[in-house]
Amino acid sequence: MASKTIYTVKYRRALAGKTDYKTRLKLLLSGTPRLVIRKSLTTISMQVISYTPTGDRVHVTATSRMLAQYGWKAGNKSTSAAYLTGLLTAQHAHQKKITNCIADIGGTTAVKGSVVYAALAGAVDGGLSIPATKTVFPGQDRLLGKHVAAYANKLKTTPERYQRQFAQYLKNGLDPEQLPAHVETVKAKIIGDTHDKARK
């Protein structure tokens, strides 16, 4: 006698590949706010979210587009932009008295030195306590964009390629060779702005 197979339909978000419910459950059981890191083709976005019985509560939201408020002139999806976005997220989290988080990278493949880990490095440098192995973070030189500056300096011998490759930088008035100094300047503004708000 043939037996019937019971088929359970997956949740809509699981079918769409948007949510891994097993991973989500593990994160929620920790009771710690999640530092959600997502990347699109143009932007890095981060949120600090905690679970409540009525639904997720978003405490902090920051995107790499917000870096323009601090004078950022380079791209919004680079390693340096991700790092600064993580730093900005951490500063906003401190204003909400949040000091501990657990990383949630969603369905993103965990690759050592990737943009996602650059964002996580920024959050850790910003003072958030997050369980993470720092060996997966990009090196300090990459976070500061020194590899970009070195490439730009090399490419400058062929002006046409240089202009094409760094069109956005030049349009915004930033010499790509000066990217490391620019990152440090924006970093100082983010930290300084947060300290000013904390004193008020």
Number of structural domains (the chain) is 1
CATH number of 88's domain? 3.30.420.100
Rounded mean pLDDT, 47-66: 92
Q: Is the residue at 98 inside a domain?
A: yes
Q: Is the residue at 7 inside a domain?
A: no
Fill in the amino acid letter for 111.
V
Q: Is the residue at 165 inside a domain?
A: yes
Q: Is the pLDDT of residue 32 over 90?
A: no
Q: Is the residue at 10 inside a domain?
A: no
Q: Is the residue at 85 inside a domain?
A: yes
Q: Tens of pLDDT along 73-123?
A: 999 999 999 999 999 999 999 999 999 999 988 877 779 999 999 999 999
Instruction: Pull the structure tokens for residue 115.
Output: 């943009």
Q: Is the residue at 37 inside a domain?
A: yes
Q: Tens of pLDDT along 49-58?
A: 998 888 889 9
Q: Please give the torsion angle defined by the CA atoms of residues 187, 188, 190 and 191, in that order, rounded to the nearest 10 degrees.
A: 120
Q: Is there a contact between 104 and 37 (Cβ–Cβ < 8 Å)?
A: yes
3-state SS, residue 189: helix
45 DSSP β-pair partners = 38, 63
Q: Which domain holds residue 128?
A: 32-199
